[in-house]
Structure formats: C-alpha cells, structure tokens
Amino acid sequence: DQQVKQNSPSLSVQEGRISILNCDYTNSMFDYFLWYKKYPAEGPTFLISISSIKDKNEDGRFTVFLNKSAKHLSLHIVPSQPGDSAVYFCAASFYNNNDMRFGAGTRLTVKP
Amino acid sequence: KAGVTQTPRYLIKTRGQQVTLSCSPISGHRSVSWYQQTPGQGLQFLFEYFSETQRNKGNFPGRFSGRQFSNSRSEMNVSTLELGDSALYLCASSSRTGLTGELFFGEGSRLTVL
C-alpha cells in the first residue's frame, strides 16, 4: 500500500536552474510532510518539512509547497547546485508519530 | 553530538540463516525506528520503539522483530532469511519532544542474502 508516491524516479537539471520534485499522497489524514536527501553510502538527512496547516515553507534555496485538495506536495530548489545531486525522498506522517511513509525517491542530477 | 550508529555496515548471509542488526541512537533520543530500503520501493517502515516498547509496526512478516534496551539502543532480527530480504536497513532516532517529526538516520546496514 504505497500511500506516498514519487512518480519520477529521476530528474536532471542544469546548474542555476530550478529543480522541482513532486510527491503525491493518498491518505488525507497525514498532517506532516517532510523531504529527506540521501547521498550514496549515507543515511537520509532531513531537509525541510511542512505542516498540513500551511501551504508553503521556505528555507534558503529550498521551498516546499503543499496542495491539500490535490494531495500533492512539491520541493523547489532554486538555484540548483551540483552538490544538490542526490536522491530525494518525500515522507508523510501523522502528528507526533514516527511511523513515516516514504516515497520511492527521485534521483536528482544537477549538471554543471 | 555523535550521530546514529549502526553495526554491522555490511553483511552477507545465506537463505535460512538469521541476522541481528544493532543501532545506537543519538544520545538523549528515546525513539528508534527501523526502515527497509530496496530499489524502487523507497523506505518501508518496519517498527518503532520508544522506552523499550514497540509503539508502531509496519506490514512485515513475523520473521522481522526488534527490541529496545534501557539505554535506548535497539536491535532488529530477521529469522529464516529469504533472498528478498536483501536490502539496506536503516535505523533512525528521534527525541519525540518536538513537533517536527524529524528523524535522524544512521548510515544503514546493507544485508545481502545469497
């Protein structure tokens, strides 16, 4: 039961341009959404999160948008840098519950 | 502050064997979660322990089990290994005191079943 889906397994963008990673979910009861970044041979690291009561959260070059009616969230990276090349996982959870549901990940490649 | 430590990092087993993986959370973190990562499946939740009690469990067969000790260290065990159990097993800890739900992951234990 894949409650969180990342339909694009890979994305390639040019350095300096915008990267947009997408995520869809099916359970409307999720109330917290997170993005994690994973480099090879490392564990995922937390990037940015958003509560279901908001529709946008920004942290430097990273912005997450949440569209609850569409059950869709996206991560925007502007400007993209080669060091951003990694696998990005979208995750959703219920309030104060660490049973997070992750998407399959999107491999982002930022070309110099 | 030391991060989440998982041992062993790599191991190879044969079908039918059992394996035990260990996780030491960040000091002060009382919640430990385990995830299985396989290509194309992302991270799938196995279980979460908090104060030595299993609080949540994912949809995995009973061959997958875990426990947490009084010092918050956790172990997971997989018995009667199958080829499909080959994966990266990730442990994550959390303080559960904030509202962010942020998990801190270890580097994982890569299990290969032959």
Are B15 and B114 in contact by the 8 Å Cβ rule? The answer is yes
The answer on pLDDT for B111 being more than 80 is yes
| Confidence label for A93 from pLDDT (cuts 50, 70 and 90) | confident
Question: Are B103 and A100 inside 8 Å of each other by CB?
Answer: yes
Residues of chain A whose beta carbon is less than 8 angstroms from a beta carbon of chain B are 1, 4, 6, 9, 32, 34, 36, 41-46, 49, 51, 89, 91, 93, 95-105
- Which residues in chain B touch residue A102, judged by CB atoms under 8 angstroms apart? 35, 42-45
Question: Residue A19 has what pLDDT?
Answer: 98
For an interface test with A, the pick among B10, B30, B102, B104 (most A C-beta atoms closer than 10 Å) comes out as B102
Percent of chain B at pLDDT > 70 equals: 94
Averaged pLDDT for residues A64-91: 97
Question: Residue B98 has what pLDDT?
Answer: 46
Residue B39 C-alpha, separation from nearest chain A C-alpha, in angstroms: 8
Q: Within chain B, what is the greatest distance between any pair of CA atoms? A: 42
Q: How many CB atoms lie within 10 A of CB A21?
A: 21
How distant, in Å, are the alpha carbons of A28, B1, B16, B20 from that of B35?
Answer: 23, 23, 21, 14
Question: Are B90 and A105 inside 8 Å of each other by CB?
Answer: no
Averaged pLDDT for residues B45-57: 89
Are A33 and A89 in contact by the 8 Å Cβ rule? The answer is no
